[in-house]
């Protein structure tokens, strides 16, 4: 990545559409910014599913602990 950034230092114009602003930035920095932006958009898109799965796993672990406690409380000769 460092080699790519250092070998692509030529400035390219970058415009921001709704605003009449244009900057001249190194090409490597523009590509890196695009990659980082895509990473964070993907992270934000994945976050709700990750939170949901984590909550579901926590509930399942609590249920397993509850059932293990019930199983430990029953006498061994009643389990068939």
Half-sphere exposure of 79 (CA within 13 A, CB side): 7
Length of the chain: 80
- Under DSSP, is residue 18 helix (H, G, I), strand (E, B) or coil? coil
pTM: 0.65
pLDDT in tens, the chain (80 residues): 788 888 888 999 999 888 889 999 999 999 999 999 999 999 999 999 999 999 999 999 999 999 999 988 887 766 65
Residue range(s) defining the domain that contains residue 39: 2-78
Residue 28, number of CB atoms within 10 A of its CB: 19
Task: Say how many domains are in the chain.
Answer: 1
């Amino acid at each position: 990545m460092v080699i790519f950034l250092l070998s692509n230092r030529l400035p390219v114009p970058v415009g921001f559409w709704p605003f009449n602003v244009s900057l001249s930035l190194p090409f490597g920095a523009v590509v890196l910014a695009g990659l980082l932006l895509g990473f964070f958009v993907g992270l934000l898109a994945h976050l709700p599913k990750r939170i949901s799965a984590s909550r579901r796993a926590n509930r399942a672990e609590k249920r397993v602990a509850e059932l293990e406690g019930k199983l430990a409380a029953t006498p061994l000769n009643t389990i068939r």
